[in-house]
Structure 1
Amino acid sequence: MILLSIFAMTAVVFLSRYLFLEPRLPIKINPSAQRLLNYSSPAVLTAIWAPIVFVHDDKLAVNLGNPYLIAAVIAALVAWKTKNVIATTILSMGCFFMLNTLL
């Protein structure tokens, strides 16, 4: 049953992506729907990283003892200044591992 669920979810995800990404299919989205879909990626990414950064042990953890928060702020600053994905990833992960061992 689990394997069937995995295959079904795979099919749903693949088909939903394929319908929008295949240029030969005659599916057109109106401009307002396209504008609305521009916000979906940042919304999904925020829904993924926000609980990781701000919530620990089912409590809001917004303090200087939170290595996730400090590394996220460093990552945002590095990304803003350098606009380099590799530099942002390496520096923020390095800072996180260092903070995680120290704190």
Structure 2
Amino acid sequence: MILLSILAMTTVVFLSRYLFLEPKLPLKLNPTFQRILSYSSPAVLTAIWAPIVFVHDDKLALSFHNPYLIAAVLAAAVAWKTKNVIATTVLSMGCFFALNAIL
């Protein structure tokens, strides 16, 4: 039963990707739907990082003792100013590890 479930999920994922990525298929999305889909990646990423940054021990953690929050604020500022992914990643991770060692 588990193997059948895995194969079914694999088939669904493959077909959903194949329909949109195969250039020979006549399936084209209209501009409105493409614009709507452009918001899905930021929405999913926000759903992943927001609980990590803002919630600890099932409580809202908005303090200077939260290294996740401080590193996230730094990452947002560096990304906004430099628009450089590597600089943002290195600086925010360095800040996070330093704060984690200190706090």
Query: What is the TM-score normalised by the length of structure 2?
Result: 0.89
> Which residue in the other structure is 1:12 paired with?
12
> Which residue in the other structure is 2:87 paired with?
87
> Which residue in the other structure is 2:69 paired with?
69
> Which residue in the other structure is 1:35 paired with?
35
Residue 98 of structure 1, CA deviation: 0.5
Equivalent position SS for 2:28? coil
Which residue identity lines up with residue 101 of structure 1 in the other structure?
A
Q: Structure 1 unaligned runs (5+)?
A: none
> Which residue in the other structure is 1:55 paired with?
55
**Alpha carbons of structure 1 residues 99 and 35: separation in structure 2 relative to 1, 3 Å:** same
How many equivalent pairs are there?
103
1: distance between equivalents of 2:3 and 2:62?
A: 40
Equivalent position SS for 1:94? helix
Residue 3 of structure 1, CA deviation: 4.6
2: distance between equivalents of 1:2 and 1:58?
A: 33
Root-mean-square deviation (CA, aligned residues, Å) is 1.5
Residue 4 of structure 1, CA deviation: 4.3
Residue 28 of structure 1, CA deviation: 1.1
Which residue identity lines up with residue 16 of structure 2 in the other structure?
S
**Alpha carbons of structure 1 residues 35 and 4: separation in structure 2 relative to 1, 3 Å:** same
Residue 62 of structure 1, CA deviation: 1.1
Which residue identity lines up with residue 76 of structure 1 in the other structure?
A
Give runs of ≥4 in structure 1 deviating > 4 Å.
1-4
